[in-house]
């Protein structure tokens, strides 16, 4: 399981260091590979291309990889399909994307109701801007009356959208073309009450080479046919609100409300929020509704009432209500009190009343109905790790739930209030899941370094022997209060099929145990994130599940911090680390336009206390020379709007230089890709096969060793 440096095909690409010494509060910090941050430098680009070539040369030498890819492709059922991005109109009409399994992109379809005949609306392959790019749909939003549909079209996994408007009656695109939207990350688009236009967040610069890349976003209104946007809420339009360059103003409109709300989005879900009458849309009459100190997590506007969840004096959240005509957040109407054993994770308003979800440890979800002030548990079709609620609003009694688990994909049900029962109403094909009938899921808690109990999900096949010889793949994230809920990741099936044990460590920094759980893995307490992961990993060794030579650890994006620090603090504990598009040099985040967004989560070098925390959590700066580090598989996308490709690149360069284990350090650069949300099916499958083949090899799988 070694990569020999004397093999020319596997020789590590070299690039000269250009050390920079920074001074922070009298402390010197040496950055040996600062030059890699310049992704316009031809020397850097050529080095990245050499890293990509090295990655290909190593992975292509693994026996079993080609057969693995053929197996995945041969399993494609040409009659099967998946449905996504479902939107339900006020008339119960359904708009959605459907992708046949052997297709790369989904197409837009419509049904008048669930039992009606399916109607094709739009194929993204028919769209181009004359530059030869292939577009896919990453966003849809029908108007309130269903007469028009916003279609977000993106290319090369960029996340940014070009909005086109489809006329439902004629099934043709209008001439309107709207650029520079980032809908999935920034609230999407809300139609005006009369369907004459919509509001969305406009990003002036989406060119990574521009110094203003992603900065100074504006919430704008667009009226159909005018081919212009009007700024209604932004730093420029509202200087008195002190909106940061990196923050995103987002406008929210509800069909039945007289008010428009404007939130200022950053890394934190707690946001300063303003409001004004919808009749004053372009008159700039915004007033503060509530400040971030109210700790409001989510809200719904129904009529002139604001329903919201808050962690103010309630770490696991409570649901409150205020009137928008005379809001009083000091004395709101408390509809649902906090529960100390589970977290409120979702709620909706229907004509029949309030439905909400409580989830324990991020993995055990239960549905409740508020009946005349009394909480009643609602029986769901089967136990679920996550419940997502869907309603049309307080004027409609319709309620749908989506449930999912570690071993089951999303299933959709409609609720019958009279019989208090659910009926399957799913646009995805109904298939009996027989792949996991012999698989066990354990939900436990284990003590971390400080005695705090950390939830740990463990999945394995029945009859597995606890003899220290099982391959373990452990996933962790731990940031932004995001809950690592049960979800059937593609790699779980393949890992289990090869006899492995899969686990998710619900480390601090996430939202599994509410606001406190997040704050205990945040800025100056960030060390708990990787120390929880280390404790969970040690649990498996102590309980004879596996041994150090058989452990692979996986993280993505901000999860790179926890994974990176776990392997730099305890390199002896892991055989391989997989870090997809990871943040690995958080000390430098605020010096990159796309990284400034993260300061509220990790801290700033301008604060002496936060600086110390950043240095402690920075994987790149905690690499030591001549240490036996595990094998590494790092990925990066040159079109990534969230994590700059130089973050994993700097980590790879430093690790290749420092490690003495002779285990391979791979930097797999996608020059035509981004963060991964919009990648095609084929690209996702190829990446999955490469990563898992590498992980099988490094954990000793006999069928995945290097070719002779």
Domain ranges within the chain, ordered by starting residue: 8-26+43-61+440-677, 302-431
Q: Starting from the edge strand earliest in sequence, which strands make up the sheet with 296-302, in order? A: 296-302, 305-310, 318-323, 333-336
Q: What is the mean pLDDT of residues 545-557?
A: 97
Going by pLDDT thresholds of 50, 70 and 90, the confidence category of residue 374 is very high
pLDDT 10s digits, 87-133:
998 778 999 999 987 788 899 999 999 999 999 999 999 998 877 78
Strand partners, 190: 199
Best CA proximity match to 570, nearest among 693, 699, 449: 449
- Lowest model confidence (mean pLDDT) among 180-184, 333-337, 593-597: 593-597
Strands 119-122 and 665-670: what pairing?
unpaired
> Which of 147-156, 340-349, 423-432 shows the lowest mean pLDDT across its residues?
423-432
Q: What's the whole-number mean pLDDT along residues 407-428?
A: 95
Contact 106, 116 (CB under 8 A): no
Tokens standing for residue 54: 């090295």
pLDDT category at 476 given cuts 50, 70, 90 is: very high
Does the pLDDT of residue 1 top 50, yes or no? no
Greater model confidence, 211 or 594: 211
Mean pLDDT of 389-407: 94
384 pLDDT above the threshold of 50: yes
CA distance 539 to 576: 18
Superfamily (CATH H level) for 302-431: Prolyl oligopeptidase, N-terminal domain (2.130.10.120)
Q: Decide if pLDDT at 432 tops 90.
A: no
Size of the chain, expressed as the number of residues it contains: 708
pLDDT value of residue 31: 98
How much is the pLDDT for 267?
Answer: 67
Identify the helix (H) or strand (E) that includes residue 519. Answer: helix 515-519
pLDDT score for 4 = 42
Write down the pLDDT at residue 7.
62
Q: Is pLDDT at 3 greater than 90 in this prediction?
A: no
Measured CA to CA, the distance from residue 111 to residue 83 in angstroms comes to: 13
Q: Is the pLDDT of residue 6 over 90?
A: no
DSSP string, 66-108: HHHHHHHHHT--TT-EEEEEEEE-TT--EEEEEEETT-SS-EE
Give pLDDT, residue 2.
Answer: 41
Question: Looking at residue 620, what is its pLDDT?
Answer: 98
Task: Report the candidate in 392, 391, 347 with the shortest Cα–Cα distance to residue 365.
Answer: 347
Under the banding of pLDDT at 50, 70 and 90, the label for residue 79 is low
Q: Is 523 helix (H, G, I), strand (E, B) or coil?
A: helix
User: How do beta strands 374-378 and 386-391 pair?
Assistant: unpaired
Q: In 3-state terms, what secondary structure has residue 313?
A: coil
Does the pLDDT of residue 419 top 60, yes or no? yes
* Separation between Cα atoms, residue 69 and residue 63, nearest integer Å: 12
Residue 203 confidence class, pLDDT cut points 50, 70, 90:
very high
Strands 119-122 and 107-111: antiparallel
**In the predicted model, what is the mean pLDDT of residues 276-300?**
94
Is the pLDDT reported for residue 708 higher than 90? no
Tokens of 478: 């731990």
pLDDT over 90 at 160, yes or no: no
Lowest model confidence (mean pLDDT) among 10-19, 204-213, 522-531, 548-557: 204-213
CATH class given for the domain over 8-26+43-61+440-677? alpha beta
Q: Name the band, by pLDDT with cuts 50, 70 and 90, for residue 286.
A: very high
Provide mean pLDDT across the span 273-287.
93
Pairs from 700-705 (Cβ < 8 Å, separation ≥ 24): 700/1, 700/471, 700/549, 700/550, 701/64, 701/471, 701/498, 703/63, 703/64, 704/62, 704/63, 704/64, 704/65, 705/62, 705/63
Rounded to whole angstroms, how far apart are CA atoms 174 and 156?
24
Average of per-residue pLDDT across 659-677? 92
Helix (H, G, I), strand (E, B) or coil at 438: coil
pLDDT band at 151 (very low <50, low <70, confident <90, very high): very high
Instruction: Quote the pLDDT of residue 627.
Output: 98
* CA-wise closest residue to 143 among 197, 94, 85: 197
DSSP letters, 278-295, are GGGTTT---EEEE-GGG-
The predicted-structure confidence for 227-269, as pLDDT tens digits, reads as follows 999 999 999 999 999 898 888 999 999 988 999 999 998 767 7
pLDDT at residue 634 is higher than 70: yes
């Amino acid at each position: 399981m070694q990569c020999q440096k004397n093999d020319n095909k596997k020789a590590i690409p070299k690039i000269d260091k250009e050390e920079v010494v920074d001074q922070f509060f009298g402390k010197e910090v040496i950055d040996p590979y600062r030059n890699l941050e310049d992704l316009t430098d031809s020397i850097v680009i050529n080095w990245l291309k050499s890293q990509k070539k090295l990655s290909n040369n190593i992975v292509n030498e693994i026996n079993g990889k080609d057969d693995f890819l053929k197996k995945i492709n041969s399993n494609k059922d040409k009659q099967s399909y998946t449905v996504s991005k479902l939107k339900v109109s006020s008339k119960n009409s359904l708009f959605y994307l459907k992708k046949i399994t052997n297709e790369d992109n989904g197409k837009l379809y419509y049904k008048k109701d669930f039992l009606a005949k399916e109607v094709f609306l739009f194929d993204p392959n028919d769209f181009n801007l004359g530059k030869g790019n292939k577009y896919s749909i990453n966003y849809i939003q029908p108007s309130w009356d269903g007469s028009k549909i916003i279609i977000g079209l993106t290319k090369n996994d960029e996340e940014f959208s070009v909005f086109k408007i489809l006329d439902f009656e004629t099934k043709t695109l209008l001439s309107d073309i709207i650029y520079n939207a980032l809908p999935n990350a920034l609230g999407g688009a809300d139609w005006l009450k009369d369907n004459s236009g919509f509001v969305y967040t406009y990003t002036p610069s989406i060119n990574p080479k521009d110094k203003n890349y992603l900065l100074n976003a504006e919430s704008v209104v667009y009226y159909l046919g005018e081919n212009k946007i009007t700024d209604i809420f932004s730093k420029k339009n509202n200087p008195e609100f002190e909106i940061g360059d990196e923050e995103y103003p987002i406008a929210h409109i509800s069909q039945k409300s007289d008010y428009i709300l404007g939130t200022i989005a950053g890394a934190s879900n707690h946001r300063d929020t303003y409001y004004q009458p919808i009749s004053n849309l372009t008159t700039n009459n915004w007033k503060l509704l509530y400040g971030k100190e109210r700790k409001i997590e989510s809200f719904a506007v129904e009529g002139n009432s604001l329903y919201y969840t808050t962690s103010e004096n309630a770490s696991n959240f409570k649901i409150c209500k205020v009137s928008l005509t005379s809001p009083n957040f000091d004395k709101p109407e408390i509809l649902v009190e906090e529960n100390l054993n589970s977290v409120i994770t979702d709620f909706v308003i229907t004509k029949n009343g309030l439905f909400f979800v409580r989830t324990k440890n991020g993995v055990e979800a239960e549905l409740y109905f508020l009946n005349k002030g009394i909480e009643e548990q609602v029986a769901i079709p089967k136990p679920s790790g996550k419940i997502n609620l869907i309603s049309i609003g307080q004027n409609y009694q319709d309620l749908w739930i989506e449930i999912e688990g570690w071993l089951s994909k999303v299933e959709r049900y409609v609720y019958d209030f009279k019989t208090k029962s659910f009926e399957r109403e799913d646009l995805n094909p109904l298939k009996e899941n027989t792949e996991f009938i012999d698989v066990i899921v354990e939900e436990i808690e284990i003590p971390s370094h400080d005695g705090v109990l950390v939830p740990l999900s463990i999945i394995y096949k029945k009859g597995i022997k606890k003899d220290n010889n099982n391959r373990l793949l452990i996933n962790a994230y731990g940031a932004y209060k995001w809950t690592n809920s049960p979800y059937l990741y593609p790699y779980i099936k393949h890992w289990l099929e090869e006899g492995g044990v899969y686990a998710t460590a619900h480390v601090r920094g996430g939202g599994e145990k509410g606001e406190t759980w997040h704050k205990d893995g945040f800025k100056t307490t960030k060390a708990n994130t990787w120390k929880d992961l280390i404790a969970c990993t040690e649990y498996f060794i102590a309980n004879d599940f596996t041994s150090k030579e058989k452990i692979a650890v996986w993280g993505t994006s901000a999860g790179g911090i926890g994974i990176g620090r776990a392997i730099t603090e305890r390199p002896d504990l892991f055989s391989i680390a997989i870090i997809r598009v990871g943040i690995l040099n958080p000390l430098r985040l605020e010096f990159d336009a796309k990284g400034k967004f993260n300061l509220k989560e990790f801290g700033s070098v301008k604060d002496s206390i936060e600086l110390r925390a950043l240095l402690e959590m920075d994987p790149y700066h905690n690499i030591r020379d001549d240490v036996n580090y595990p094998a590494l598989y790092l990925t990066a996308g040159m079109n990534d709007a969230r994590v700059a490709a130089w973050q994993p690149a700097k980590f790879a360069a430093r690790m290749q230089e420092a490690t003495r284990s002779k285990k391979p350090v791979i930097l797999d650069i996608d020059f035509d890709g981004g963060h991964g949300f919009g990648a095609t099916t084929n690209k996702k499958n190829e990446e999955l096969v490469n990563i898992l083949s590498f992980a099988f090899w490094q954990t000793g799988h006999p069928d995945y060793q290097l070719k002779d």
